[in-house]
Amino acid sequence: MWDFLFGRRGRAGYVRIKLRDGGWVAGVWALGEEATASYASSYPQSEDLYLAAQVTVDPTTGAFVLDHHGRPEIRPWGLLLTRDHIEQLEFQEAPTMA
């Protein structure tokens, strides 16, 4: 399922992740210019995930923190996770990330 989810071209969205320690993190999944692209490893490599930018969430509930436009608040730094740290992963499609 990992390769199916992250291997589809043109897909963009928000990835919300519950960590094995119970905390929540989130980020932007976007493919594009190398400097702003997200990456996921594929089989047979271990399942690693790099999200190009983080999205602010409540660390205990996973609820998105919204900006003054009502969109998820984006933090301008990436997030690198290994599959071993992920308990649950949610993907919300977003046709435009602007």
> Structurally, how many domains does the chain consist of?
1
Give the number of C-alpha atoms closer than 13 A to the C-alpha of residue 93, restricted to the C-beta side: 6
In a domain, 48, yes or no: yes
Evaluate whether residue 43 is within a structural domain: yes
38 found inside a domain: yes
- Please report, for the domain that includes residue 55, its CATH number: 2.30.30
Q: What angle do CA 49, 16, 36 make, to 5 degrees?
A: 50
Burial category of 27 from C-beta neighbours within 10 Å (exposed 0-12, middle 13-18, buried 19 and up)? buried
Q: pTM for the complete prediction?
A: 0.84
Domain coverage including residue 17: 2-93
Residue 98: inside a domain: no
Instruction: Give residue 95's pLDDT band: very low, low, confident or very high (50, 70, 90).
Output: low
Q: Cα–Cα distance between 3 and 54 in angstroms, integer?
A: 21
pLDDT (tens digit, 9 = 90+) per residue, 51-94?
989 999 999 999 999 999 999 999 989 999 999 999 999 999 87
* CA distance linking residue 97 with residue 36, whole number of Å: 12
What's the DSSP call for residue 45? S
Using one digit for the tens of pLDDT, what is the confidence trace for 34-59? 556 888 888 888 889 999 899 999 99
72 in a structural domain: yes
What confidence score (pLDDT) does residue 86 get? Answer: 95
